[in-house]
Structure 1
Amino acid sequence: MSPEPPVLSVVVHGDNVQDHLPALLGSLDAHPLPGTEVIVAAVGDWAREAAEEHAPAFTVLPLPEGTGDAAARAAGAARATGRWLHFVHAKDGLPPGGPHAVAERAAGLPDPVDVLLFDHVHSTWRATGLPSPDGPRLARAGRAALTLDTCVPLLALSPLLGNRAVRAAFWRAHEEVLTTDDEEFAAQAALLLADRVACLPHPALEDRGLRPESLPGVPPGRHGAVIDRYERLLGLAAGRPAVHGAVYDLMLRDCLRTFARSTMPERAAREFFRRASAAALRHRPEGHTHPAGFEGVRRSLLEEGAYTRYRALQSANRARREVRSALRTGRRHAVARLRDQGYRRALARPVDPRLAVFSAYWARGVACNPAAVAAKLAELAPHIHPVWTVSADNAALLPPGTDHVVPGTPRYWQVLARARYLVNNVNFPDAVVKRPDAIHLQTHHGTPLKRMGLDQMPYPAAARGLDFAALMERVDKWDYSVSANSHSTRMWQRAYPSRWTTLDHGYPRNDVFHTAGADEVRAARERLGIAPGHRAVLYAPTHRDYEAGWTPRLDLAALADRLGEGTVLLVRAHYFHDGAAFPPTGPRRTGRVIDVSSYDPVEELCLAADALVTDYSSIMFDYANLDRPIVIHADDWETYRTTRGVYFDLMAEAPGPVARTQEELTELLAGDAWRDERAEKRRAAFRRRFCEFDDGHAAERVVRRVFLGEDEASLPPVVPLADRTPAPRPEEVA
């Protein structure tokens, strides 16, 4: 006897956009779902990896990268065995109890009911769980099975496939019509084709709205798709006056919204308005009336094809809003007016195609990825002139001959206004204007273990003082984002959702770890005063958001004393803690503890060190390129993970042995565990994951792609990890 088919098949489909899929699948897996099966039509490797963590509880259908939503839904529906189908996009979520409520309601519905409508909540990057406007309409409809003709207000529900379940037999009977990438059409067409519908005034979907700035722009010719959609829907509503009238009103509303909210060129805007007007006249129901007020005027002008008068109405309305806004904000801008006058004059001049502005760590100096890019630029594109932004305090430390500007000075604003290229490992100030013909290159300054960008919002200690709206406005100026590995690529997509292009080229600053030879390693050690044959351990702790200031995590004098005369500790505080002096100690005076917090570049410290000790600093990802021992000192992992948030469990995936106390760290370094076979295996796995694109040619790839405009396919390919030769270890060059 065959088993009873499940009541409901939840078909999760799509790619793992901005890493929302794991939370969705995790919520489904966390609660038992009697009478429900889960099918995951996973598009691309990232979605497949996330889905396979929940197999075999869920059925996973791997689909190629680029598979459209319609094809993914069709693949999931083909494998589903439930009597009802609930399509949930991978970007969305399911409130607790949602699937159970849908399955329970669907199980009791009679056969004539083809569509079950339910409520949803809405989330954005700013807020979660916002109520939808659909609840009251669903509540008024009651629990009885209805025909759409007797309850046309249901057509005004949010047109999402995720806020309705469909009978599987009904879906398959109309699959040719419903299988389309236009989700709004499919959602509305399902209602128009249904024999009966039923309602459930219970939220069973979290509709996650992605930042519009992170979505591909709509080409001007594609705006007409909304007109095509409604012409098809009106065809399905033919012969049903009440339904036809409701669809007609929705068409006018959505056409006007599309026109008002898009930035179509004038010619495309006129053509859209003409087409929308023709459709409105062609389908206008006899005796149809418009709502009163401003909305009625807008619809009448559309039906008349009165483009010029409609634009005039728009302009007058916009002017009223701008006057009110100016009155509110005028005083705030008075202080910046003098600066803006000079900056605006510079912005009126043409962009200089031979000018590049570089900055690192909030204008601290020539450092990090921007410095490596600038060095390679001088070699491959010497016609481009680099100018560094450097604070007045750090200007004296610049290499001789470095052209630079101090933030806030007139020349600072002039070069920012006219530069073709702007390169930074953080962000430029909010006031910097993104010119259409300028290129912003974001290099970042580490691989993320800790939560970054929007992912900091749920963590008060990390989010303290951050203006996330302003942050995203800065992110929207990026054209390119450099990445060292697939993990970073994916995390930047979720932390900084916008339209920038990822450069999976590696971190330019890490090139030196593959290009340096024995002479460079020896010279770095000599500059630091490390005697031949002595072991140098680089200790580089990170910043803690939950601490008011810098707190030493180790008794360095005691550690140096226990490790003996043959070990030197190179101690580097995080750059957030300028001036945080280490207490003078006996070992420090004898050269066994060396404060290298102000030593630049940090890459030289890595070349000089036999081993790295760190906690949660991103330096571990860079140092791993050298294939030298790494030890993690994690005395406060639980507190750090809770207050800052992390992207993976470092304790399970560390690049070497983990010490939770100073005593454990001392024992590791005093014996052989810091570099034994087990440590090498952990480091090898870590390098495979996080040293993916760092092969010594990252800066060249970035310069050729961004500054010389070369095609991606023509760039030097990434050298496989097994074929790379890191800089020699200190014991090899002693």
Structure 2
Amino acid sequence: MPELSVIVHGPNTQDHLTGLLDSLTAHPLPDVEVVVAAVGDWARETAERHAPHVQVLPLPGGTTDAAARAAGAARAGGRWLHFVRAKDGLPPGSPRTVAERAAELPDTVDVLLLDHLRSTWRSSGLPSADGPLLTRAGRTELTLDDSGYLLRLTPLLGTRVLRAAFWRAHEERLTTDDEPRAALAALLLAGRLACLPHIAHEDRRLRPASLPPVTAEQHLALVDRYEALLDLARERPAVYTVLYEIMVRDCLRTFARGGMPEGVAEEFFHRASLAALRRRPEGHRRPAGPEGIRRSLLEEGAYTRYRAFQTANRARRAVRSAVRAGRRQAAARVRDHQYRTALRRPVDPHLAVFAAYWNRGVACNPAAIAAKLAELAPHIHPVWVVTERNAALLPPGTDHVVPGTRRYWEVLATAKYLVNNVNFPNAVVKRPDAVHVQTHHGTPLKRMGLDQMPFPAAAQGLDFDALLERVDKWDYSVSSNSHTTRMWERAYPSRFVSLDHGYPRNDVFYTAGAGDVRAVRERLGITPGRRAVLYAPTHRDYEAGWTPRLDLAALADRLGEDTVLLVRGHYFYDAGVSPLTGLRRSGRVVDVSSYDPVEELCLAADALVTDYSSIMFDYANLDRPIVVHADDWETYRTTRGVYFDLMAEAPGPVARTQEELTGILTGDAWRDESAAKARAAFRRRFCEYDDGRAAERVVRRVFLGQDEASLPPVLPVGERTPAPTPEEATAS
């Protein structure tokens, strides 16, 4: 019996079935079977071209989705069933991930919940809003009565993998052409649930103009859907209340946005009103404010007054929007006047403006350059651009400006040097005698700049014309290796000069001594002799928030008391609640997401575990073990785009599952001869210019005007001595 049956069902709408089956048959798996309930001749012909890797079940044209699902399930032999509409998609590698997770689950679990991507006819690979809810649920088994918030997940049947025995027991209730109704019913009928907070489904929305218009009956059926679902939850107060809230919200939203003809809209409002009043939980309180007014009018059935309320709200929003726009325009005029006035002043040859990571503080390559500048060119005064929130965290005595203030625009207008590891705002004018230095903040594995154009999930609405205008202001671009130099020239085509001097932030990996390593470990509470593994994953453009790819508590238990996990979440996710909150005080899992600088964490670690983060290129300078955990490589490569195949050119062993990672770290594979050879090849390619004197070369070249021939030459990789390992630091 296969572990998982993927049941693809429906007609080959707009030929999306071809791509779906291509992805499924590219890497067939022994514990995953594919059953295609092909509706119509085109779907049948498409499916037959993929035989024998798929089982083809021909169905007559016009067969409904519900009937096709049922037919496919009857043919399937797997322990778990994953229903996928022919128009939708499965990210590369997701069937394997789902099958592995399903194999871990006992028969007491009925439904496995997945995260998904959203795609439309205009864009692809957009994150869903479900990630935070699935992360909150974690990987433990749970019941809906204790986790009613899971009803707020997007109601897609493709994000619910059903145990086959559960499907057979409830097939009659789950066989409906109303997919959201089936998706919600699956949760209500399940005994226990489990979650896989990884991307394993793609919901593809077709262009509405290509679909039949929504009928009045389909609009009105929304109310019937929730009436039937509330009947299933009648004896479960907590679940009932959440479902009631979802019903009212969905009805009001559909009424406001549905574009229904007036007669249909009035009938819909009437039916929703009766349901909202009749189904209202005892003692249930309406929210305050406009939402409370909407619900009150709905329950009263006050259609005319509700329409008047809508009209008045639109008018108020228009007025408020106009007022805000006027204020913004006035503020912009003041700012522009201040900036234009400052631009008429002479450029100050002794003033340098520094910024890093969208004005987060003193960090990265700009910080290393500023430190060397104080040593070699103390006559140049540095001013940092820092947000008001982060200003309190600056080192004492740091001269800084807050974005938007008068002095902010004055220093940007008059500074001779502007140094940043991202871009300065579009409004910044490039003066002919000013020097802009782009330091970047990593070696590119993922696609950057113009190379993001084919990857909308990564670009996320990036204005490429505005990007090129910012790039054209660069005088210098700092690079750490020839791969990076070539990729920057490709991704950011302009006339800047590449400074092939190394990344200044990586100098510390050659200048730090044993005392520095011991001091960092002491600050982190790592006792001598204990192995510290730094886990530093990157962010996913296709996920709404940070979803840990590992069960960190389980990993820490398997690694034992002699190992501490230093977990570094990506800075893009620092605004939310950390999923590490419950683990950070265990002693064996330390949340270092807010610890700066990250280079000190690298010095403290005996080994690095990462996925696709550029930290691997920096850490390789230390010549210490690196393990790549790449459970979603195919999805990442497809949605983000990459410059080379990390699986073939990794800096050490690669784990595709948590079990493989655990085996590597509990054995010798993380630091054996094979790992050392892979790391050596990686260092030769990607640590090419990093030798401990990068900041000096940049300062002498840019700020002191020395020519290339007079700069300290780059020491070959084989002749460099990295900072001592923690073991060496303890022994010295």
User: CA–CA distance in 2 between the matches of 1:472 and 1:334?
Assistant: 28
Q: Does 1:355 align with 2:341?
A: no
Equivalent in the alignment of 2:676: 680
2:551 pairs, out of 542, 548, 555, with 555
- Counterpart residue number, 1:514: 510
**Which of the residues 724, 727, 730 maps onto 1:731?**
727
Alignment of 1:392-471 (within 5 A): 392-471=388-467
Q: TM-score, normalised by structure 1?
A: 0.54
Give distance in 1, aligned partners of 2:327 and 2:588: 57
1:266-298 deviation line (CA, Å, top 9, x unaligned): xxxxxxxxxxxxxxxxxxxxxxxxxxxxxxxxx
Letter in 1 for 2:412: L
Between the aligned partners of 1:381 and 1:689, the Cα distance in structure 2 is: 32
TM-score w.r.t. length of structure 2: 0.55
Q: 1:55 — aligned with what?
A: none
Distance 1:584 1:448, change over 3 A: closer
Q: Distance in 2 between matches of 1:586 and 1:646?
A: 34
Quick one: structure 1 residues 550 and 583, their matched pair in 2 at CA, closer, same or farther if it must change by over 3 Å?
closer
- 8 Å Cα contact 2:580-2:591 kept in structure 1: no
Provide Cα deviations, 1:157-197, integer angstroms capped at 9, x if missing partner. Answer: xxxxxxxxxxxxxxxxxxxxxxxxxxxxxxxxxxxxxxxxx
* Alignment map for 1:209-288 (pairs within 5 Å): none
The amino acid of 1:689's aligned partner reads R
Q: Which amino acid aligns with 1:503?
A: L
Distance across 2 between alignment mates of 1:589 and 1:502: 45
- Whether the aligned pair in 2 keeps the contact of 1:561 and 1:587 (CA below 8 Å) is no
Q: Write out aligned runs for 1:561-576 (5 A).
A: 561-576=557-572
- Supply the distance in 1 between the matched residues of 2:400 and 2:327 (Cα, whole angstroms): 33
Give 3-state SS (helix, strand or coil) of 1:635's partner: coil
Structure-2 residue corresponding to 1:528: 524
* TM-superposed deviation, 1:588: 3.5
* Cα distance in 1 between the residues matched to 2:673 and 2:614: 24
In 1: Cα distance, 2:708 partner to 2:561 partner: 51
> Which residue of structure 2 lines up, in the alignment, with residue 609 of structure 1?
605
Aligned residue in 1 for 2:694: 698
Q: Residue in 1 aligned with 2:167?
A: none
Question: 1:580, 1:717 → 2: CA distance?
Answer: 44
Partner in structure 2 of residue 633 of structure 1: 629
- Range that drifts further, 540-549 or 376-385: 540-549
The alignment-based identity, stated in percent, is 83
Residue 593 of structure 1 and its aligned partner are, at CA, apart by 0.5
Q: 1:579 and 1:669 mapped to 2: Cα distance?
A: 31
- Once residues 584 and 629 of structure 1 are traced to their aligned partners in structure 2, the CA distance between those partners, rounded to angstroms, is 24
What secondary structure, in the 3-state scheme, does the structure 2 residue paired with 1:336 have?
A: helix
SS at match of 1:613: strand
CA contact (8 A) 2:548 2:579 kept: no
Do the aligned partners of residues 467 and 332 (structure 1) sit closer, same or farther apart at CA in structure 2, a change above 3 Å counting? farther
- Mapped to 1, the partners of 2:560 and 2:639 lie a distance apart of 36
What is the Cα deviation at residue 544 of structure 1? 0.5
Query: Matches of 1:414 and 1:479 in 2, distance apart?
Result: 21
Q: Report 1 or 2 for greater relative contact order, CA contacts < 8 Å, sequence distance ≥ 6.
A: 2
SS in 2 for 1:675: coil
Q: Quote the residue 1:501 is aligned against.
A: 497
Aligned AA (1:431): A
Q: Tell me how far 1:590 sits from its aligned partner.
A: 3.0
Instruction: Note the alpha carbon deviations across 1:108-134, whole angstroms, 9 max, x for none.
Output: xxxxxxxxxxxxxxxxxxxxxxxxxxx
**Cα–Cα, structure 1 residues 585 and 383, in superposed 2: closer, same or farther, change >3 Å?**
closer
The DSSP-based 3-state class of the residue aligned with 2:706 is: coil
Deviation at 1:580, TM superposition (A): 4.0
Alignment of 1:104-503 (within 5 A): 336-503=332-499
SS of equivalent to 2:418: strand
The answer on whether the counterparts of 1:557 and 1:588 sit within 8 Å (CA) in structure 2 is: no
- Note the alpha carbon deviations across 1:642-672, whole angstroms, 9 max, x for none: 0000000000000000000111101100111
- In structure 2, give the amino acid aligned to 1:629: P
C-alpha change, 1:429 and 1:585, in structure 2 (3 Å) is closer
Query: Of 712, 718, 721, which aligns to 1:722?
Result: 718
Aligned partner of residue 393 in structure 1, secondary structure: helix
1:589 matched residue in structure 2: 585
Matches of 1:584 and 1:463, distance apart in 2? 28
By how many angstroms is 1:464 displaced? 1.4
Q: Distance in 2 between matches of 1:586 and 1:545?
A: 25
CA displacement, residues 657-716 of structure 1 (integer Å, 9 cap, x when unaligned): 000011110110011100000000000000000000000000000000000000011000
Equivalence for 1:270: none
Q: Is the 8 A contact 1:423 1:440 kept in 2?
A: yes
- CA–CA distance in structure 2, aligned partners of residues 594 and 448 of structure 1: 28
Contact 1:651 1:658 in 2 (8 A): yes
Aligned 1:664-675 pairs, distance under 5 A: 664-675=660-671
Cross-structure match for 1:619:
615
1:542 paired to 2:538: yes
What is the CA-CA distance between 1:591 and the residue it aligns to? 1.2
Contact 1:572 1:595 in 2 (8 A): yes
> Secondary structure of 1:512's match?
helix
Q: Between Structure 1 and Structure 2, how many residues are aligned?
A: 406
Q: Which runs of 5+ in 2 are unaligned?
A: 1-324
* CA-CA distance at 1:583 after TM superposition: 3.9
